[in-house]
Amino acid sequence: MKKCNLTLLYDNILVREDKPDDISPGGIHIPDMAKRAKRVGEVFAVGHGRLSRMTDEVIPLMVKVGDRVRIKDFSLDEIEYEGETLLHLHESDLLWIEREEEDEG
């Protein structure tokens, strides 16, 4: 993965969305609405954290660059960065984080 020279503020996140298949393994055409039902991608860049409204402290984000994430289907803010289309999200727009487990052996 290419290193990102971008510094995001607070809880902003950029995700490189996986491109869904147009055809199912059985040869059936998948409509666009069905493709949007399962939006996943890889985190491209993250901000430093969410600003607490009560204490003005920055709360670190759980998500990290390289994490695989599942995105809520209404999160549609797309931006262009260095010729690539990325989704702009906040941590609250993510449903879960998927990480590779490190072998302790």
Position 49 scores a pLDDT of 92
> Counting Cβ atoms within 10 Å, is residue 42 exposed (0-12), middle (13-18) or buried (19+)?
middle
Mind listing the pLDDT tens digit for each residue in 22-76? 676 777 766 666 555 568 899 999 999 998 889 989 999 999 999 999 988 775 6
Domain ranges in the chain?
A: 13-98
Position 77 scores a pLDDT of 84
In this prediction, residue 6 has a pLDDT band, given cuts at 50, 70 and 90, of: confident
The whole model's pTM is what?
Answer: 0.74
Mean pLDDT value across residues 7-26? 81
Position 63 scores a pLDDT of 93
* Top-level class of domain 13-98: mainly beta
For residue 4, is pLDDT > 90? no
Least confident of 29-33, 34-38, 94-98, 99-103: 34-38
